[in-house]
């Protein structure tokens, strides 16, 4: 089940071809995107996602169509989604066609959320740490590397997930060259110790997560402390709970790290899910 809307709010057939072969998104991976969770027709963190799309556009110099156009397309998909329950709503914007007039290509696509993700939310996941090949100062030193922009060039992220599967794990936590922890290929790392939640700083060259922000808000309301600070592998082993969070996976607990079982965090997971859901 998929619903596709263009930026003028018109619906169009998701099975028909729409992207030209000379689109720079296709030819060079030159574009940006967002994935938003909608539940029972209501998008979560839409404002934060549109802000982040604008930030990615600024970082990549893509002339982003105005916010009203994205809101129109989002509404068209939501209005025409034929079921209750969840949807992953993808907003994509590329630099447009090679040698064209500079008009970006943009659309909003609603998709179902697969059984694999649902099972991982329920049962937890095993992860491996993999090197990302960046050092903590690189994002500031070399902005042209677009670290922390949500570009559609996700081939490395997907390759890392395949490497995890080859190693018998479900997912990845990337590490920087100094050993500090970064993020998952499609998720933010959150660590719980006592009544404190921690996540690595976006300045390391990672994406500022909308789900992590919502979880932190909910947990703070419940009296928890939250910290944004560098983390290392021993912090994960010492923690009461380790989680990968994202719009689509929501709050997923990590039960195994590099082949070793972590502290059982099933109860803590349920508590954090409650804080996150209390935001909606």
CB-based contacts of 77, cutoff 8 Å, min separation 6: 3, 4, 5, 87, 89, 108, 109, 110
Which position has the token pair 């740490």? 129
**Residue 248 φ then ψ, to 5°:** -80, -45
Site residues for ligand PLP, window 19-38 (CB under 6 A)?
A: 35
Query: Strands 260-261, 188-193: parallel, antiparallel or unpaired by DSSP?
Result: unpaired
Q: Which of 175, 180, 246, 252 binds ligand PLP (CB under 6 A)?
A: 246
Q: How far apart are CA 241 and CA 38, in angstroms?
A: 26
180 vs 211, beta carbon nearer ligand PLP: 211
Site residues for ligand PLP, window 133-192 (CB under 6 A)?
A: 183, 186-188
77 vs 251, beta carbon nearer ligand PLP: 251
62 vs 207, beta carbon nearer ligand PLP: 207
Q: Shortest gap between Cβ of 211 and ligand PLP (angstroms)?
A: 3
Q: Which of 105, 126, 151, 211 binds ligand PLP (CB under 6 A)?
A: 211
97 vs 187, beta carbon nearer ligand PLP: 187
Q: How far apart are CA 229 and CA 208, in angstroms?
A: 13
Q: How far apart are CA 214 and CA 184, in angstroms?
A: 18
For ligand PLP, how many residues bind (rule: CB under 6 A)?
A: 13
| DSSP letter assigned to residue 145 | G
| Candidate ranges 64-72, 120-128, 206-214, 257-265; the one touching ligand PLP (CB under 6 A) | 206-214
Q: Which of 161, 247, 252, 265 binds ligand PLP (CB under 6 A)?
A: 247
Q: Shortest gap between Cβ of 19 and ligand PLP (angstroms)?
A: 21
Question: Does residue 207 touch ligand PLP according to CB under 6 A?
Answer: yes
Q: Shortest gap between Cβ of 125 and ligand PLP (angstroms)?
A: 15
* Contact assessment for residue 61 and residue 96, using Cβ atoms and an 8 Å cutoff: no
47 vs 102, beta carbon nearer ligand PLP: 47
Cα angle, residue 15 at apex, residues 12 and 16 outer, rounded to 5°: 65
Site residues for ligand PLP, window 35-74 (CB under 6 A)?
A: 35
Q: How far apart are CA 9 and CA 71, in angstroms?
A: 9
97 vs 248, beta carbon nearer ligand PLP: 248
Question: Does residue 76 touch ligand PLP according to CB under 6 A?
Answer: no
Query: Strands 171-175, 225-228: parallel, antiparallel or unpaired by DSSP?
Result: unpaired
Q: Which helix (H) or strand (E) holds 158?
A: helix 155-166
- Name the residues that contact ligand PLP, by CB under 6 A: 35, 183, 186-188, 207, 209-212, 245-247
């Amino acid at each position: 089940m998929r619903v596709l809307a263009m930026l003028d709010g018109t619906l169009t057939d998701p099975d028909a071809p729409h992207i030209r072969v000379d689109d720079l998104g296709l030819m060079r991976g030159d574009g940006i995107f967002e994935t938003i969770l909608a539940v029972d027709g209501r998008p979560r963190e839409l404002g934060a996602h549109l802000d982040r799309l604008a930030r990615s556009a600024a970082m990549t110099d893509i002339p982003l169509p105005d916010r009203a156009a994205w809101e129109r397309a989002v509404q068209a998909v939501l209005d025409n989604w034929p079921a209750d329950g969840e949807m992953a709503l993808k907003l994509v914007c590329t630099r447009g066609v090679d040698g064209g007039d500079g008009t970006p290509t943009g659309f909003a696509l609603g998709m179902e959320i697969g059984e694999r993700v649902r099972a991982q939310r329920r049962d937890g996941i095993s992860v491996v740490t993999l090197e990302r090949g960046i050092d903590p100062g690189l994002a500031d030193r070399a902005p042209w590397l677009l670290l922390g922009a949500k570009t559609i060039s996700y081939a490395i992220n997907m390759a890392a997930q395949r490497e995890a599967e080859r190693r018998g794990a479900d997912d990845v936590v990337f590490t920087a060259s100094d050993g500090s922890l970064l993020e998952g290929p499609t998720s933010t790392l959150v660590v719980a110790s006592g009544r404190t939640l921690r996540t690595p700083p976006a300045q390391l060259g990672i994406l500022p997560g909308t789900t992590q922000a919502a979880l932190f808000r909910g947990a703070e309301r419940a009296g928890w402390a939250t910290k944004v600070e560098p983390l290392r592998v021993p912090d994960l082993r010492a923690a009461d709970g380790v989680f990968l969070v994202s719009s689509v996976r929501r709050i997923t607990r990590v039960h195994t790290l590099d082949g070793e079982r972590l502290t059982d965090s099933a109860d803590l997971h349920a508590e954090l899910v409650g804080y996150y859901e209390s935001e909606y």
